[in-house]
Amino acid sequence: MADLSFPLLTCAAALPAVGAVATAALPAARRTAAKWVALLFSVATFALALVIAFRFDPGAKGPFQLTESHAWIADFGVRYELGVDGIAVALIALTALLIPFVILAGWHDADPLEEARPNRRWRPTQGFFALILAVEAMVILSFEATDVFLFYLFFEAMLIPMYFLIGGFGDGASGADEGEAAARRASAAVKFLLYNLAGGLIMLAAVIGLYAVTADQLGTGTFSLQQIVEARASGHLTLGTGTERLLFLGFFFAFAVKAPLWPLHTWLPGAMGEATSPVAVLITAVVDKVGTFAMLRFCLQLFPEASSWATPAILVLALISILYGALLAVAQRDIKRLIAYASISHFGFIILGIFAMTSQGQGGATLYMVNHGISTAALMLVAGFLISRRGSRLIADYGGVQKAAPLLAGTFLIGGLATLSLPGLAPFVSEFLVLVGTFSRYPVIGVIATAGIVLAALYVLVLYQRTMTGPPKDEVRALPDLRVRELVVVGPLIALLLFLGVYPKPLTDLVNPAVDHTLSVVDKQDPKPEVRVDAVPGHQRAGHPAHHHDAEAAK
């Protein structure tokens, strides 16, 4: 039933959308004004996200709160339906938190294009920040949508502004001339678009198939997630085994591309490497989270039997992602590509936790989405500040940075330690819960996945040792330390990593009820530990006469 209060969820998505239009409409000469308008709209969106978080009651009954439902395309059963659970609230807050920092970090990223092309009709500054706000609006709507078609619409629409952000703006540190650098950016953007469009087209076929099944069995086709889940639970809607598995694969393929999961990951290193560092944060810390979130909300709840059927194969793919991403991160010579491969490994952990089908695993996976977003944003943005000073992404071009810029080196170290899930920093709790939840049901996979922790320590510490320690190279002796704007970007992220590392309770209280609801829909319970009789103190081994005597006495 729709909540008749103020439409907070619509406003949370509309605010950055309005900001995007306002920023893009500013005259070419108002570059600084465009930056401030974008920043103010992003801060206002974060304030509204906090209101949503405070209005949300984790103990309330029902899967969704702050709901909105309005007829949209009635002839095809499409409704404008929004609602949030604890997982969506956490990810909306993460998105709204990171966008102001992305804007501040990219404050001067469009300036070189302004200087190189003094065409009054070409407004790269306005375009850059408007595109960022447009992505924010679409991501927030994706987290809020409870109508499958509405979700699909924005799941695909966010590809358009991301394509222009990747292909149109680069960091200028590739070591190639401008023509070659532009060609690389264009190639990375096209690859990003084609992979995600292919996944989206397969999902579209599955969305249409789901509608056809509901129309056939319910009399009226519907895309409403809650209505479909309730119809399945009551027995009014049944999917044949083959049909459900095909529909599940259609949805999962699209989400696995977005996440990204091995072997559908190959677009990510190029996109993150060629984009500016703030846009790289937008890709991996914000946009990619829509894929893992959708696995929890749509794959598991719409297709519970097929999810259980596919779990063994998905766990193997997640395990390969963990190890493959970490191994390739160890071998990287490019700082940004190293962080990209590390993210592939981290997404493997998230998907592992989701399909472990335990409360610890799924709770840890949700926390991992939030904590990975914060830690990767901190590390990538500091790396971007470093790259912009030296003009190179190659690890070999650095050395001794901590002597020239101790604040930069210190924040880089904390971001790196968070990436390797050091105890006391936020990602540790997430990774620990994922591994515990996986081990309780799939002990062999849980044990092998711990190798990812060792490899993470290797690639992070080697990266820090090669770039920050030792005698400073001539090119880095005069590197300036972090400026005030850069400290404003990094400082709050570091503080959050420390706070959530020692006190994750606010997040766990928020997401645990939603995790319990998802497990109940999939009809999974946490495995109970098996206790052998002969392991209990005071009992004899089975088959011993004393055991027989005790059993008779118990009768």
The residues of the chain scoring below 70 in pLDDT are 1-4, 114-122, 172-177, 529-555
The C-alpha atoms of residue 516 and residue 52 are separated, in whole angstroms, by 21
pTM over 0.85: yes
pLDDT given at position 173:
64
**Contacts by residues 53-61 (CB-CB < 8 Å, ≥ 24 positions apart):** 53/89, 53/93, 53/510, 55/8, 56/84, 56/86, 56/89, 56/510, 58/86, 58/509, 58/510, 58/512, 58/513, 59/513
Are the CB atoms for 354 and 361 separated by under 8 Å? yes
pLDDT given at position 121:
57
Around Cβ 92, how many Cβ atoms within 10 Å?
Answer: 27
pLDDT given at position 533:
41
The C-alpha atoms of residue 387 and residue 394 are separated, in whole angstroms, by 9
Crossing angle, helix 359-390 and helix 426-441, to 10 degrees? 140
Q: What DSSP designation does 81 have?
A: E
Structure tokens at 356: 């472990």
Which stretches of 282-425 are DSSP H helices?
A: 289-294, 300-302, 304-331, 335-355, 359-390, 401-404, 406-419
The C-alpha atoms of residue 307 and residue 251 are separated, in whole angstroms, by 11
Residue 345's closest CA among 270, 471, 457, 452?
452
The C-alpha atoms of residue 266 and residue 259 are separated, in whole angstroms, by 11
Which stretches of 450-504 are DSSP H helices?
A: 451-468, 484-502
Phi, psi of 406 (to 5 degrees): -65, -35
Q: What DSSP designation does 76 have?
A: G
Q: What DSSP designation does 288 have?
A: T
pLDDT given at position 116:
60
Instruction: Tell me how many helices (H) and strands (E) the chain has.
Output: 25, 2
The C-alpha atoms of residue 201 and residue 188 are separated, in whole angstroms, by 20
pLDDT given at position 414:
94
The C-alpha atoms of residue 458 and residue 426 are separated, in whole angstroms, by 19
Chain position carrying tokens 């309770």: 505
Question: For residue 44, what are the CA distances in angstroms to 13, 49, 523?
Answer: 11, 9, 40
Q: Is 303 exposed, middle or buried (0-12, 13-18, 19+ CB in 10 A)?
A: buried
For 461, the 3-state DSSP assignment is helix
- What sign does the CA torsion over 460, 388, 324, 327 have? negative
